[in-house]
Amino acid sequence: MNAGKLRHRATIQQLVNIDDGAGGSIETWQDIVTVWAAIEPLRGNERYTAQQVQSTLSHKVTIRYREGIKSQMRLTYKGRIFDIVSAIDIKELHQWLELLCSEVVQ
């Protein structure tokens, strides 16, 4: 991977529980880190579910290697949200991380 292809500024987020002060908690997405990324669409499809058309797009996102990126996280880019399906350490060299993501468009 050529570092010059990392032209998208994206933010990785993690779901956290925050105390609401009344004995409960609220789930919210918290920014973890902002990274340079290469975002490439792979494929898309449309489904007709519950009388609505739902489009799903799949993307491959490549970033520099970072410890701790998991499939329970998500990535945001210019108001778009990408759920991380898997995080792959390319060739196990700890140089590049390939994130296979799905973007749900409604």
CA–CA separation, 8 and 24 (whole Å):
37
Number of domains in the chain: 1
Nearest to 103 by CA among 39, 61, 56: 56
CA–CA separation, 93 and 106 (whole Å):
37
CA–CA separation, 94 and 51 (whole Å):
45
Give pLDDT tens digits for 43-99.
656 555 556 655 666 899 999 999 999 999 999 999 999 999 999 999 899 999 999
Q: What is the CATH number of the domain that holds 11?
A: 2.40.10.270
Residue 78 class from Cβ within 10 Å (0-12 exposed, 13-18 middle, 19+ buried)?
A: exposed
Encoded tokens for 61:
């996102």
Q: How confident is the model at residue 19 (pLDDT cuts 50, 70, 90)?
A: confident
Q: How confident is the model at residue 5 (pLDDT cuts 50, 70, 90)?
A: confident
SS3 at position 78: coil
Q: What's the confidence (pLDDT) of residue 48?
A: 57
Expressed as residue numbers, the domain containing 53 is 3-105
Give pLDDT tens digits for 24-40.
889 999 999 999 999 99
